[in-house]
Structures are given as structure tokens and as C-alpha cells.
A and B are shown apart, each in its own frame.
Chain A
Amino acid sequence: MTPWNNKKRVSNLLIQICCVMAGCVIICPVLYCISMAFMRPSEIISSPPTLIPGSLYLENFYIALQRTQIMRFIGNSLLVSVICSLVRIVTASLAGYSFAFFDFRGKKFLFYIVLGTMLIPADATIITNYFTVSHMGLVDNYLGIMILYFVSAMNVFLIRQYFMSISKELKDAAEIDGCGSFRFYTQVLLPVSQPVLVTVFISSFVSTWNMYLWPLLITNKGEMRTVQVGITMLNFAEEASYGATMAGAVIVLVPSLLVFLIFQKHIVRGMTSGSVKG
């Protein structure tokens, strides 16, 4: 082995060690949370702080599950996120279909109307939306939590881009064979667009799963809370019960981590699409 090659190998190794160390610094709050979840109250309040639990103490999880309706919160969030994401696929793919396959008056204008929503900060419209939704009688109602998230301009844009890559001749051919526009959409277009629909579903799922301010406002009853709002109620006053809070955090964290690790590619693609100029 030449000395030059050796030097390169050493530097390669050093960079990797640096990267893994930097990575550990970044994820240490998560590791800390997991480690605290398994600690006895005496270990948690000890000074100097213990960083590694002496044994796997599971009582914290038991308290977290007992004292709050955390499973109910997770169920609520699952329901809300799944339905929102499915509805988003429908609204966005219909709109994308219209923008990509039809020519009609005002198309450009309507397209800008859709994209323009990205310029309006959603949190600043939340008071008026609160009144609208509460006048509909949807406080403490699943539909009330979801209704604001039934359409996303980003999704419309992403699906339109994908549809534009499908040749219009496919539609013409289908029409000659007597396939109507709507049938073409449901039976040809949607099946061939599965990759983009999966991306939209997963990125929507993650973003609705993580929403906070709106569900906080529109729900008052404990059993209607979504997990992001509910988890903050584990915020007990006494320091000794931090273990239970962290156990709750772990219960919430693990499913999101799994989803993230499995679907990383889709999540990134769903978000990066917006950065490409169309």
C-alpha cells in the first residue's frame, strides 16, 4: 500500500468519526429523553444528574398510560391524519388533473389563486377560522380539527407536475376507446400515478400528525385532543414525575421515528418538490 493511499484512508476514517460524533451531539436530546423515561424518580432528581438509568424501570410508562388518555390521543391523531391525507389526495389530484389535462378560461389565474395560499401565513388567519368553524358547530369535533387541512397548495402543485409528465395522448387514446374523462382519472391516471400519491400521503400524514396550534384551539374536551396537544398535558408540576412525561414522549416518539426511518425518501421528496422551480 502506498503511503498516499494510507493517508487518504486515515483522513477518510477521521471524517467519519467526526461525523458520527457530530451526529451523537445532535441526537443526544432524544437519547436523553429515552434514558430518562427508564429512570426511577430518585435517579431523576439526583444531583449531579444521572445520565444512564441503573435498571430498566417501567413504572413511568405505566403512570403515563394511567394518568392520561395517551392511547386515545394517539388514536385521535391517527384518525385525523389518515383522513386528512386521503382527502388531500382527492382534492389535490382532482385539481392537478384539471390544471394538467384541460385548457379553460382563467386557468392561469386559478392556478395562481391556489399557489397564492402559500404566501398567507396560516397561523395569522387562525382567529377568523376559529369563528368560522365554531359557527359550523364543529368545536370538539373530528371534522373541525381536520377541515382546515383538507387541501394543500403544495400537494396540488406536486401532483400537477407529475401529471404534466404523463402524455396527453394517453387521455386522447382512452377517449377514443370511449373512456370518459372521469373514468380516465379514476381508472388510468390515478393507478399510474401511485408513486406521487404515496409521497403526498406520507408527507401530508407527517405534517398533519405534527400540527399543534389549531387542534389546541378547536378542542376543549380531553378525549378529543390530538397527541401533540395531549402530550403537553403530561407536564406535571413536580420534578420527580418527569420520568412519566419522558415516558409519554417516548410513546409518541417511537411511531414517528419508525415512520420517518421507513419513509424518509418520500418525506424528503414531498417537501423538496416545492424547491424546484416549475
Chain B
Amino acid sequence: MVNAKKKISSRYGFGKKREPYMYLLPALILIITFTYFPFFKTIIMSTFLVNASGTAIEFVGLENYQNLFKDTVFLKSIGNTFKYVICVVPATIAIGFSLALMANRKRKFSRLYETMFSLPMAISMSVTALIFQLLLNPNIGAFNYIFHTNIRWLTDPKYALTAIIMIGIWMGVGMDFMFLLSAVRAVPEELLECADVEGVGAIRKITSIYIPMTSPTLFFLLCTNLANAMMMSGPVIVLTMGGPNNSTSTIIYYMYNKAFRIYNYGSAYAAAVVGFVIAFALIILSFRFEERGVHYA
């Protein structure tokens, strides 16, 4: 009798022990199959010679990487990616921050212009790309007409990346504004009143109150924007296919092109690993920055 009771309770205990793992199972299976497994497999495959149907043939060590770094198109893609990141990330954050400061105090038309500022968030990448394709069309687009320029935006190697950068900034502004608006509005009123009493100017107020007080949000945006910009490929696929003359090819576009259009998987895997490494490096770098510059209230 006692034995039986013990058995039941231990069985019950065993089930209880397994229970939390059962709840985690669906999420874990998906995460392992579609994130960790491909992550490690990509690293392993990058050291193999891979045929055009995607099968690994023989171990070649770092040969894929040697070929990759000999390929001027890849080097150009890295350069383009960095140019894109260096222009888009600071510009979107700066514009978003300025708009947030402008919209800070609630006024009669606040809701109207807050919605206008955040609207780019609602427009998907493909639609944005199509709109800008027409807007930047050298013959019939409005951009050249309004600014009295005569530039073949998406077909001139000198300007194509600039066009992609403009599109990237436009796509990112809405989200950065939204985040920064709530951060700017959370700055304590007393602090600003104090500054007013002391007669602190507007610029000093921004540099010594607004920027430090919103630094956690700025830091978060820096991280997410860096990660997104580093992995940018969408507008390039829709608008330029990396051209003209590889002037808009990015790391992920290079990977996509090698894998799915040329079937050179060795280079594609190696390029993907370079993508991982750069993403990690940026995350570490931004955490170093966080230690020095971010204030948590």
C-alpha cells in the first residue's frame, strides 16, 4: 500500500520534472533546426569544396576564404556594406532624434505629425523600392526635376549606392523616431526646469540632458540598426541586382548571388561566415561603447 503510494508520487514527480521541458520543446526544436543547426553547418560547409547541387565533396580548409578574399567583387561588397552602414545608421538616428526633439512637447497637431514622422515604418521594403525606382527615374521621376539634377541614380556606378543609402535612411527613420520620441518624453521635467532656471542654452540642453538621458534607447537603436544595415540586401535585389558594375553589391547580396544564381556554394558559405563574424564584432564593439557611454537612470 505504502509502496504503491510512493510509486505514484514518484511517477507524478517524474512527470512534473519533465513538464517544463515539454513546454519548451516546440520553441527549442524550431530554434535548433532553423538557427543553430544552419549556423554551425554554414561554418563547417565553408571549409569544404561544394558542388553545384550543394553536396560537400572534400575538405579544403581555408581555400574558400582565400578565394573569397582574392575576389575583388567580394572586397567591393564589404566596402559597399561598410559605406552603407556608416551613412545609414548615424543619419537615421540623427534624423529620428531631431524629429523626436521637435515633436517632444504635446501640441494641438501632435498626433498628425507624429503619424507622419513614423509612417515610413508602415511601408514595406518592396513597396518602398518600387516608389523610389520611379521617383529616381532620370527621365520621368520627380527627384531630378525638383532638385534640378540630372543624375541616372540607379544606373550610374557613381550614384547607385547613394540612391540605395537614401532609400535605407528613409526606411529607417520612422522606427527610430518612434523609439526616440518615447525616450525623449521620459526625460524628467524637473531636470529641464533646472536647466531653464540656470539659463542653459538649447544646444547644451541636448548634449548634456537629452543625449545622456536617452542613451539606453540610442544604444538599442544603434545595435539593431547596425545589425539590420550590415545584413541589407532587399533593395539591392529589387532595384539594381548588385549593379551597375558591382557598385551596390553587399555582403548578403554577394552571398545570395553566389548561392542562388551562380551555384558557387563554397564562396557563398564563406561569405555568410564573414557576415556572422562582422555581426559579432559589431555587437561586441557596441557593448564596449555601452560601458563607456550609456547611463541607466
Chain A residues close to B by CB (< 8 Å): 12, 15-16, 18-20, 22-24, 26-27, 29-30, 32-33, 36, 44-49, 51, 90-92, 94-95, 97-99, 102-104, 107, 110, 113-114, 117, 119-132, 147-148, 150-151, 153, 156, 181, 185, 209-210, 212-213, 216-217, 228-229, 231-232, 234-235, 239, 242, 245-246, 248-249, 252-253, 256-257, 259-261, 264, 267-268, 271-272, 274-275, 277
The answer to whether A32 touches B102 (Cβ under 8 A) is no
Contact of B127 among A20, A107, A249, A259 (CB under 8 A): A249
Q: Report A-chain residues with C-beta under 8 Å of the C-beta of B268.
A: 127
9 A-B contacts (beta carbon < 8 Å)? A26-B173, A36-B134, A46-B140, A119-B279, A121-B230, A121-B231, A125-B34, A125-B42, A268-B179
Other-chain residue from B30, B109, B269 in contact with A91 (beta carbon distance below 8 A): B30
User: Nearest Cβ distance between residue B145 and chain A, in whole angstroms?
Assistant: 5
Inter-chain CA distance A63–B224, complex, in Å, is 39
Distance in Å: Cβ of A152 to nearest Cβ of chain B: 9
Given contacts A127-B269, A181-B19, A253-B123, contact A231 B130 (CB under 8 A): yes
CA distance A256 to B128 in the complex (A): 13
User: How close is A233's CB to chain B, nearest CB, in angstroms?
Assistant: 10
Q: How far is the CB of A163 from chain B (nearest CB, A)?
A: 11
**In the bound complex, how far is the Cα of B140 from the Cα of A128, in angstroms?**
42
A16/B108 in contact, CB under 8 A: yes
Knowing A30-B123, A123-B231, A231-B126 are in contact, say whether A97-B23 is a contact too (CB < 8 A).
yes
Convert B117-131 into 0s and 1s, putting 1 for each residue whose CB lies closer than 8 angstroms to a CB of A: 111111111111111
CB distance from B153 to the nearest CB of A (A): 14
Q: Is the CB of A29 within 8 A of B179?
A: no
Q: A19-B103, A210-B124, A228-B126 are in contact. Are A94 and B255 (CB under 8 A)?
A: no
Q: Is the CB of B220 within 8 A of A275?
A: yes
CB distance from A167 to the nearest CB of B (A): 18
A residues less than 8 Å from B54 (CB atoms): 131
Residue of B nearest to A275 (CB): B220
- Cα distance A95–B28 in the bound complex, in angstroms: 9
- B131 → chain A closest CB, angstroms: 5
Which of B21, B126, B230 has the most CB atoms of chain A within a 10 A radius of its CB?
Answer: B126
Please give the distance in Å from A44's CB to the nearest CB on chain B. 6
- A228→B122 contact, CB < 8 A: no
Q: Contact flags (1/0) for B254-297 with A, using CB distance below 8 Å?
A: 01100110000100110011011001100100000000000010
Residues from chain B with Cβ under 8 Å of A128 in the complex: 37-38, 41-42, 45
Q: At the interface with chain A, which of B79-87, B197-205, B233-241?
A: B233-241
Q: How distant is the Cα of A44 from the Cα of B125 in the complex, in angstroms? A: 23
Closest chain A CB from B15 CB (angstroms): 10
Contacts A20-B109, A119-B283, A151-B27 given; indicate if A272 touches B179 (C-beta within 8 A). yes
Q: How large is the interface on B (under 10, 10 to 19, 20 to 34, 35 or more residues)?
A: 35 or more
Smallest Cβ-Cβ distance to A210: which chain B residue: B124
In the complex with contacts A119-B280, A132-B38, A268-B178 CB distance below 8 A: yes
The residue among B35, B118, B255, B259 with the most chain A CB atoms within 10 A of its own CB is B35
B142 contacts chain A at the CB level, 8 A cutoff: yes
Instruction: Indicate if the CB atoms of B35 and A260 lie closer than 8 Å.
Output: no
Shortest distance between the CB of A106 and any CB in chain B (Å): 9
Contact A47 B134 (CB under 8 A): no
Q: Are B124 and A102 in contact (CB under 8 A)?
A: no
A275 & B39 in contact (Cβ 8 Å cutoff): no
CB distance from A74 to the nearest CB of B (A): 12
Bound: A102/B75 CA distance, A: 50
Contacting A at CB under 8 A, from B132-176, are 132-135, 137, 139-142, 145, 170, 173-175
- Residues of chain B contacted by A260 (CB below 8 angstroms): 119, 121-122
Chain A residues with CB under 8 A of B275: 121, 123-124
Contact B107 A12 (CB under 8 A): yes
Given contacts A121-B230, A257-B123, 10 further A-B pairs with CB under 8 A are A33-B131, A110-B24, A119-B279, A121-B227, A127-B259, A129-B38, A131-B54, A147-B34, A268-B179, A272-B179
CA A246 – CA B256 in complex, angstroms?
Answer: 27
When A12-B107, A94-B27, A125-B272 are in contact, do A27 and B140 touch as well, CB less than 8 Å?
no
Distance in angstroms from A8 CB to nearest chain B CB is 11
Residues of B within 8 A of A22 (CB): 99, 102, 113, 116-117
**A239 nearest CB neighbor, chain B only:** B140
Task: Find chain A residues with CB under 8 A from B117 CB.
Answer: 22-23, 26
Q: With A113-B31, A274-B220 known to touch, is A19 a contact of B260 (CB < 8 Å)?
A: no
If A44-B140, A47-B140, A242-B140 touch, does A256 touch B231 (CB 8 Å cutoff)? no
**Residue of chain A at shortest CB distance from B259:** A127
Are the CB atoms of A49 and B142 closer together than 8 Å? yes
**Judging by beta carbons under 8 Å apart, are B279 and A252 in contact?**
no
Alpha-carbon distance between A248 and B130 when the two chains are bound, in angstroms:
10
Question: Within the complex, which residue of B37, B112, B126 is in contact with A23, where a contact is CB–CB below 8 Å?
Answer: B112
CB pair B220 A249 closer than 8 Å: no
CA–CA, A111 and B100, complex, Å: 34
Residues of B within 8 A of A245 (CB): 130, 134
**Residues on A with beta carbons closer than 8 Å to the beta carbon of B112:** 20, 23
